[in-house]
Amino acid sequence: MKCKLPLFFGFMAAILSLPVIAAENVHLSIDASRPGARIDRNLFGQFAENLGHGLYEGIWVGPDSPIPNTRGIRNDVVSALRELKVPNVRWPGGCFADQYHWRKGIGPRDKRPATLNSAWGGVVDTNAFGTDEFMDFLEQIGSHAYVSANVGSGTPQEASEWLEYMTAAQPTALAKERAANGHPDPYPVALLGIGNESWSCGGDMTPDYYVSQLKIYSRFVNNDNPAQHGPDKMLKIAVGPGFPETEWTEAVMKAWQHHDWSWDFDGVSLHWYTTPNGFANKTSSLNFGEGDYAKTLKSTLFMEDFLRKQETVMNKYDPQKKVALVIDEWGAWHAPLPGTNPDFLLQQNSLRDAVLASLNLNIFVRHADRVRGANIAQMINVLQAMILTDKDKMVLTPTYYIFKMYVPFQDAMFLPVMFDADTYTHGGVSLPRVDAIAAKGADGRLLLEITNLDAENPVTIDADMLGITAKSAKAETLTGAAVDSINTFASPNTVVPKSAAVKIQDGKLSLTLEPRSVTVVSIEP
Ligand code: AHR
């Protein structure tokens, strides 16, 4: 049999194993002799929109705040994010990006105009967190900028001047203005988004209209720093779809196939949120049971089909996979917490979200030859957040710990892992019982991630490893007492990773996965 994709086995198991018999043991086979694509570190990117308390309070408290901060940026959040080695942060939106005018957010803060954030609740925006504050935040957490240009209500000239302000190395008027604002050196800008959801909040454009805008912005909005004209060049990302239909991707990729020297792009974005009951009837992020858990995970696995569909179109126009697919908004979109501003999109984050995050990251990793970027929505206090804050308090969510456990996968080499996923069924919803990915880490270690989706039953794993002789292994696992276990300000350590027992004997690895758990094993060859 040629097909070695784990999902194939999962699919076969779903078809062939009715009625479902609970597997006590899952056998895995990792092939270290056949490395695949590099798992781009940008798969682990974050998204920080000017929305609710994502930026204001979540990151920015101002230099005069009693909350410990460095130049207005809270220290507790910075030190937590440094641990995640965040590769890039997408900012300022989202829908907000297409109403943002960058000039309002530079210069002395007491002179900046108050504007309305009409994208998110019509609240007053002091513009205190602007371009220089964002770049300072990135320097503090050790990350890179993914800037979203305003295509909806801005102009190519405005966007081009923004890029000049950020990146010009020569002494232009805008570079001097940047220096006067405290930063003589150009800022690195790793990624530039040309619009956001231009088929909806970004201007409700038709595919053809967007393609004309894309060509103009791509031609005239550039990184002016010669140091970013080589291997570190800024990648331009075109708007892609947020729906399974492929008409939009067809239009964008067809245009790309015929592009000339004057314009180009490097990636197409894709947005997909997990909303098992649709946007009109959102799930609760608190106090739910196994039924909701299984339904949500089933819904999140649609990401796989979505990617395949878009990739089929991209392969038609770009068989060499020059253009990356960048899922720059993904995650669980639950109902806002009762009593909070519904436009602020504040939700709790449970063990269910952690399992969901691992399943999505694993899908991206399996598609690493095309998927070279992803940004979870969103970083702090918004949607599936890494961090929740309330005044001076901060708590790290179960999803935060998934990103921390996956750090070794950044820039690792994909390795095939074969297994019979078996089936976990609850309330008529059938899912693969386990999911797994493997990789060769930058330090030469073999990495294995295994998710046990089954909410009630442990799974024993035995794995053989082709192409390496394993000497030792250690494992870390994340689980909780229930599928809806959460970390709170009062009990911040309810869902935190702990070490797990793992055995290497005769070159084979064995361990037991707790129910509803995510485990990363690091194997020393
Ligand atoms: O992440 C919240 C919003 O979801 C973003 O602003 C928008 O791009 C998407 O619809």
The predicted model gives 372-392 an average pLDDT of: 98
**Number of Cα atoms under 13 Å in the Cβ half of residue 156:** 11
pLDDT band at 184 (very low <50, low <70, confident <90, very high): very high
Q: Is the pLDDT of residue 456 over 50?
A: yes
Looking at residue 437, the DSSP 8-state letter turns out to be: E
Q: Work out the burial of residue 312: count CB atoms within 10 Å of its CB; fewer than 13 is exposed, 13-18 middle, 19 or more buried.
A: exposed
pLDDT of residue 24: 73
Residues 88 and 154: their CA atoms lie apart, in Å, by 24
Q: Is the pLDDT of residue 434 over 90?
A: yes
Q: Which residues is 477 bridged to in the sheet? A: 498, 519
Residue of the CA atom closest to atom 9 of ligand 1? 94
- Name the amino acid, one letter, at 191: L
Task: Report the nearest atom of ligand 1 relative to the CA of 196.
Answer: 8
**ω into 19 cis (within 30 of 0):** yes
Residues 3 and 7: their CA atoms lie apart, in Å, by 10
Q: Is the pLDDT of residue 2 over 90?
A: no
Look up tokens 């694993």; give the residue. Answer: 362
Q: Which residues is 31 bridged to in the sheet? A: 466
Backbone angles phi, psi at 314, to 5 degrees: -65, -40
Q: Looking at per-residue confidence, does 13 or 489 come out higher?
A: 489
Cα separations in angstroms, 10 against 18, 240, 361, 420, 511:
13, 29, 17, 6, 20
**Residues 31-89: tens digit of each pLDDT:** 999 999 999 999 999 999 999 999 999 999 999 999 999 999 999 999 999 999 999 99
Secondary-structure breakdown of the chain: helix, strand, coil percentages, each rounded to the nearest 5: 30, 25, 45
Residues 420 and 423: their CA atoms lie apart, in Å, by 9
The predicted model gives 397-423 an average pLDDT of: 97
Nearest to 28 by CA among 461, 507, 503: 461
In short, whether 329's Cβ falls inside 6 Å of ligand 1 is yes
In short, whether 197's Cβ falls inside 6 Å of ligand 1 is yes
3-class DSSP state of 399: helix
pLDDT of residue 22: 46
Give the distance (Å) from ligand 1 centre to CA of residue 150: 14
CB atoms within 10 A of CB 324: 21
**Alpha-helix runs per DSSP H in 392-492:** 398-405
**Number of Cα atoms under 13 Å in the Cβ half of residue 138:** 24
Q: Which residues is 330 bridged to in the sheet? A: 272, 376
The predicted model gives 502-522 an average pLDDT of: 96
pLDDT of residue 12: 37
Q: Is the pLDDT of residue 16 over 90?
A: no
Cα separations in angstroms, 125 against 129, 209, 433, 524:
9, 31, 46, 51
The predicted model gives 323-331 an average pLDDT of: 98
The question of whether 197 is a catalytic residue gets the answer yes
Backbone angles phi, psi at 331, to 5 degrees: 135, 180
Backbone angles phi, psi at 362, to 5 degrees: -65, -40
3-class DSSP state of 316: helix
The pair of three-digit structure tokens given for residue 473, joined into one six-digit string? 């292994």
Where are any strands of DSSP class E within 127-266? 144-149, 189-194, 235-238
**Residues 85-137: tens digit of each pLDDT:** 999 999 999 999 999 999 999 999 999 999 999 999 999 999 999 999 999 99
**Alpha-helix runs per DSSP H in 169-263:** 173-180, 207-220, 247-257
Residue of the CA atom closest to atom 3 of ligand 1? 94
- Name the amino acid, one letter, at 168: A
The pair of three-digit structure tokens given for residue 82, joined into one six-digit string? 């440094």
Task: Report the nearest atom of ligand 1 relative to the CA of 383.
Answer: 1
In short, whether 161's Cβ falls inside 6 Å of ligand 1 is no
Residues 459 and 462: their CA atoms lie apart, in Å, by 10
Q: Is the pLDDT of residue 23 over 70?
A: no
Q: Is the pLDDT of residue 21 over 90?
A: no
CB atoms within 10 A of CB 57: 18
Residue of the CA atom closest to atom 4 of ligand 1? 94
